Amino acid sequence: MSTKQQGFNISSLFQERAKRKFSNFKNRILVISGKGGVGKSFIASMLAIALAERGKSVVLFDADVYGSSTPLILGLQGTRHYIDEEGEILPVDGPLGLRVVAINLMLDTPETPVVWRGPLASRAILELAARVKWGSGDYLVIDMPPGTGDIAITIAQLMPPETYAIVVTAPNILTEVIVAKAVNFAASMGIRLLGVVENMSYFKCPHCGRETSIMGRLSGELLASKYGTTLLSRIPLEPGVNKALDAGTPYLLVEKESETSRIIRELADKVIKLLGN
């Protein structure tokens, strides 16, 4: 057998193993965006925590190879993945029983860059998906890499039927193009769209309560309607998010009574209702 054939057989084995493992989750949610910088990882991480608060068994997979940030958002800096006696990679234990898998938890330091070309990165994410001891649970939340490149395609192809997507965007002049790309990507991969989350939607003055659309006024609700889906949430700009990041603590657990936390919990409730469990 040639080296090329051996590589093909190993990839096929990884694909089958990953698909089988992912099918052990009742629900799979891909958190996607057409571009970076819209707060996708924050939304994915806080949604996972909010679902765990509701008593759900949740695994968060940070598949953003080049910009893995969920360990920082969840306060898991300094933790690492380990391998069990069967050679499988063990998820890291996070807040409220949340289990986390992230590229950054395999690097020497969080600042270490991942310098891989697309095909190598896709192969790495495929092998990771196959080798993790995912177990089972109510929700697998996947923080997808931004855009629609090799890695995103690889992950989407591993998803069993009845997999869903949430599109995260921000209100600015590029929003319509970004949402269109993300929606079309999900449709082309057979992923069902749950809806749109508009992050950094507005800033509310802590003194007078006035809302200001700092990022722009393009309506997420209008875009959601145009692309045949719903606006799930409008999440404000919140200075407390950066404070939580600086402190290395999950925002949802330290700012429990904030407007942002309330909206994120409402988002989790909507997801549970939409998926029927």
pLDDT digits (tens, 9 = 90+) for 122-168: 898 999 999 999 999 999 999 998 887 889 999 999 999 899 999 99
SS (H, E, C) 156-213: HHHCCCCEEEEEEECCCCCHHHHHHHHHHHHHHCCCEEEEEEECCCCEECCCCCCEEC
SS3 label, residue 69: coil
Specify the pLDDT at position 25. 97
Q: Which two tokens stand for residue 163?
A: 């997999």
Specify the pLDDT at position 218. 59
Average pLDDT of the residues in 73-81: 91
Specify the pLDDT at position 90. 97
DSSP label of 93: E
The span from the first CA to the last CA of the chain, in angstroms, equals: 48
pLDDT digits (tens, 9 = 90+) for 221-265: 777 777 788 899 999 988 899 899 888 899 999 999 999 999 999
Whole-model pTM: value is 0.92
**Which CATH number belongs to the domain containing residue 215 in this structure?**
3.40.50.300
Count of the separate structural domains present in the chain:
1
Q: What H or E segment, with its residue span, contains residue 12?
A: helix 3-22
Average pLDDT of the residues in 96-112: 86
Average pLDDT of the residues in 28-50: 92
pLDDT confidence band for 35 (50 / 70 / 90):
confident
pLDDT confidence band for 1 (50 / 70 / 90):
very low
Residue 45: what are its φ and ψ, rounded to 5°? -65, -45
Domain carrying residue 235: 3-275
The residue ranking higher by pLDDT, 115 or 213, is 213
Q: Which amino acid is at 132?
A: V
